[in-house]
Amino acid sequence: MGKFLQKIIPYLITLISIAVFCMHRTSEAISGDEPFTIYFSQWKISELVPLLFKYNNIPPTFEFILHYWINLFGISESSIRLLPALCTALTAPAIYLITKDIKGTLAGILASLLFILSPFQMEWAHLIRSYSLMILGGTWSMYFYLSYFQKASNKKLAGWILFSFIATAAHYLAWLVIFTQCISFLFHPSFKAHLKKVSVATFILLILNSPLLFFLIKRFIETASEGTYIQAPESFAIFFTELFKMIGNKNSIILLTILTAGLSSVFIIAKSGINRKWQALMGICSIVVIVFIPYFFLYEYDINFSFLHSSLFSYFYAILAFLLLLFFIKKLKISHQVLTLLLWMAVPLFIMYFASFKTPMFVDRYLSFISPSIPVLLSLAIFSLPNIVRFSIAAIAIALLILNFSPNVTRYSHPNEIMAAFKEYKTKNNSAIWSPGYADIIFTYHFDKNIFQNVDIHQQDTIGNKIVTDTGYTVHKEGLRRELFKNGISIANDSSQVNLDLEHTSQLIFVDAYSEYIYPNNGIRQKLEKHFGNPKQVQDLGGYHFIYLYEK
């Protein structure tokens, strides 16, 4: 392959990646936590940062960047989704460069294509949250970390500091990437020779993060004591479902991945010059750890074996996987680069799984920073096989991903459809109640972007002075609720928050946006039926969303 072509490949991959991740940005309506991110990102930085440090679970870095993005491009779905899409797209060339440096250009191209065609990455590319920024920073941090040991230079360390800071400033969990690199560094043959420079670079990273470290510790203590909204793992099966979710959502590509990983491990062991008994023993261990157990759980053959779901078995699997990795390090002497990539995937995965017994956190979004290691490792596994086999498997993998590729992402019920139905009923002459109350920001974004973007964010007293009493997010959303009330719309979590004059209301719409499913005793319908009787009309919008029309 010509030198010119090799030089332009990263740029071609970047262009293809931008084209793929940036199309169909409006296929998914703004929903979930996204409207909150957008709403608070509009504020002045002097007000945004202190509030999010106080109440947010992660650093306000993404909102800080989004603040200036909104000033430039506005808050439409198309413009605002472009930011995370670009973050994901710019991760692809790092995937290529990491893999190319280990196994060559073709392996790098394959890894980048596996990343670009991944439905998992498409999801984060279209989500207005900090995960795409964390993935971008973590992947480029890993590239500069690995390339530093190929050609030690201050520029490489500067790149590592910059992107490590981007990752850790995007989300606290990105520190697990740095922790993984620290473990990897201990295994490097020239550990002592690089210790001084690496220590200085790490110290600089800590200094840059010093404003965030207090909040990291505070958040860690709060999470450990109060828990999270996530459920603790009920079964060891979740370990594999969350891991393989990063590859694809179709059984065929997951099965191909499992078989390829097992086949490449056995092939590498067979090629080694070690004793045949060792080859047989470690080959069997590889098949059990990499193929048999994941397959058993993923395809639900574990149903009748309750002991497989016990914490004891999960510890057994972790120890067996660790011993297998130790064998590869000691006996097969795998390269420092490959070891680092294996640790990048395995260390956070096991830490977060076992930590979730006490503080649940084992869910795809919190694991997303390890996802770039998957296409890299899969490509390396494929290219460790003989030529005919490697190109056959590579072709099958790409074909499967292309056949199942879709730029459309579906995470939530579509608020656009609910809002369209609502606007059919809402007129100037009737009133409306929307529940639950926490959906006030989502509702306003889709109801009237002018209110969403231009409303005064603070409550004011009768002479226009700002009310400084801060009881959390709610006080900062009073401006939205005040403007909605002017349009005859009340936002309520339960019957006590309904602030409409029902005695003098002749027509009313009640939008139950999943509210009665979450809060079955909210009492709103009972209160309305006391005043109006049974609803004149009920429209089922699907997904536990209903519109009730009341008339006197």
Q: What is the DSSP string of 104-127?
A: -HHHHHHHHHHHHT-HHHHHHHT-
Average pLDDT of every residue of the chain: 85
Beta-bridge partner residues of 466: 460
* Alpha-carbon Rg for the chain in angstroms: 26
CB atoms near residue 428 (< 10 Å): 6
Beta-bridge partner residues of 507: 551
Q: 201 is written with which tokens?
A: 């670079």
Choice between 434 and 109, residue whose per-residue pLDDT is larger:
109
Percentage of the chain modeled with pLDDT above 70: 91
State the pLDDT at residue 517.
Answer: 77
Inform me whether the pLDDT recorded for 461 exceeds 60: no
pLDDT digits (tens, 9 = 90+) for 338-357: 999 999 999 999 999 998 88
State the pLDDT at residue 11.
Answer: 94
Q: 141 falls in which pLDDT band (50, 70, 90)?
A: very high
Mention every residue, 6+ apart, whose C-beta is less than 8 A from residue 26: 77, 78, 81
Instruction: Please report the sign of the dihedral spanned by the C-alpha atoms of residue 8, residue 13, residue 16, residue 21.
Output: negative
- Helices 175-186 and 154-170 pack at an angle, to 10 degrees, of 140
Average pLDDT over residues 209-235: 75
Choice between 536 and 221, residue whose per-residue pLDDT is larger:
536
Mention every residue, 6+ apart, whose C-beta is less than 8 A from residue 167: 133, 134, 136, 137, 138, 141, 174, 177, 369
Closest CA to 394 of 113, 105, 91, 118: 113
Residues 253-282: b if buried by 16+ CB within 10 A, e if exposed: bbbbbbebbbbbbbebbeeeeeeeeebeeb
Inform me whether the pLDDT recorded for 53 exceeds 80: no
Choice between 171 and 542, residue whose per-residue pLDDT is larger:
171
Q: 372 falls in which pLDDT band (50, 70, 90)?
A: very high
Amino acid at 138: G
pLDDT digits (tens, 9 = 90+) for 285-316: 889 999 999 988 888 777 777 777 778 889 99
State the pLDDT at residue 464.
Answer: 43
Pairing between β-strand 545-551 and β-strand 537-542 as defined by DSSP bridges: antiparallel
Q: 410 falls in which pLDDT band (50, 70, 90)?
A: low
pLDDT digits (tens, 9 = 90+) for 174-199: 999 999 999 999 999 898 899 999 99
Inform me whether the pLDDT recorded for 469 exceeds 60: no
Gap between the Cα atoms of 134 and 141, Å rounded:
10
pLDDT digits (tens, 9 = 90+) for 234-246: 888 889 989 988 8
Gap between the Cα atoms of 49 and 105, Å rounded:
43
State the pLDDT at residue 274.
Answer: 79
State the pLDDT at residue 462.
Answer: 41
Choice between 220 and 465, residue whose per-residue pLDDT is larger:
220
- The answer to whether 266 and 286 are in contact (CB under 8 A) is yes
